[in-house]
């Protein structure tokens, strides 16, 4: 079969682009562990503060689980509760976030944690804080006039 030179170049370009895009998706999913938030854990958005563990936001030590701590956040316009929390270095933590009102974001800057927090669902991820220092949490879903003020802080300490 005869193929024109430009046809060949175009075909090679198309296939290479496909390989590159699929590799990017594969590496981010399997190597970096990016995945959509799980939707199987639901919550009544009007009763967030009456529903355990969201009735006591903050760091909770747990026993007999795959992780050592649960770090519980209630998000609302334009605030995270708790505002600041200390996590021991090297602790395996299950981060759980629920919103009382609208959609918020939950990104821990400098990590691969970046979740959407939707009313009715608990967003969660298990992570290990293995670097000392201060981590900023920001909202990256536009949620209203105070969106840019919405933040919290995690201090990882020895």
Q: Which residues bind ligand CUA (CB under 6 A)?
A: 78, 104-105, 139, 141-143, 147, 150
Distance in angstroms (rounded) separating the CA atoms of residues 27 and 29? 5
Nearer to ligand CUA, 92 or 147 (CB): 147
Nearest distance from residue 67's CB to ligand CUA, in Å? 26
Cross-strand pairs, 70: 60, 94
Nearer to ligand CUA, 125 or 137 (CB): 137
Nearer to ligand CUA, 105 or 154 (CB): 105
Q: Which two tokens stand for residue 72?
A: 């519980």
Phi then psi for residue 103, to 5 deg, are -70, 130
Nearest distance from residue 104's CB to ligand CUA, in Å? 4
φ/ψ region of 58 (left if φ > 0, alpha if ψ in -120 to 50, else beta) reads left
Nearest distance from residue 107's CB to ligand CUA, in Å? 10
């Amino acid at each position: 079969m005869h193929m024109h030179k430009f046809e060949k170049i175009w075909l090679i370009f198309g296939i290479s682009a496909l390989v590159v895009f699929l590799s990017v998706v594969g590496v981010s999913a399997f190597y970096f562990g990016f995945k959509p938030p799980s939707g199987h854990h639901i919550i009544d958005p009007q009763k967030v503060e009456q529903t355990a563990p969201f009735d006591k936001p903050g760091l909770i030590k747990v026993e007999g689980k795959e992780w050592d701590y649960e770090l519980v956040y209630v998000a609302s316009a334009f605030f995270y509760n708790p505002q600041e929390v200390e996590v021991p270095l090297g602790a395996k933590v299950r981060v759980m976030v629920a919103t009382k009102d609208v959609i918020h974001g939950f990104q821990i800057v400098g990590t691969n944690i970046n979740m959407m927090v939707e009313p009715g669902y608990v967003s969660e991820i298990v992570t290990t804080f293995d670097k000392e220092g201060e981590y900023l949490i920001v909202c990256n879903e536009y949620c209203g006039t105070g969106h840019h003020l919405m933040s919290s802080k995690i201090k990882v300490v020895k």
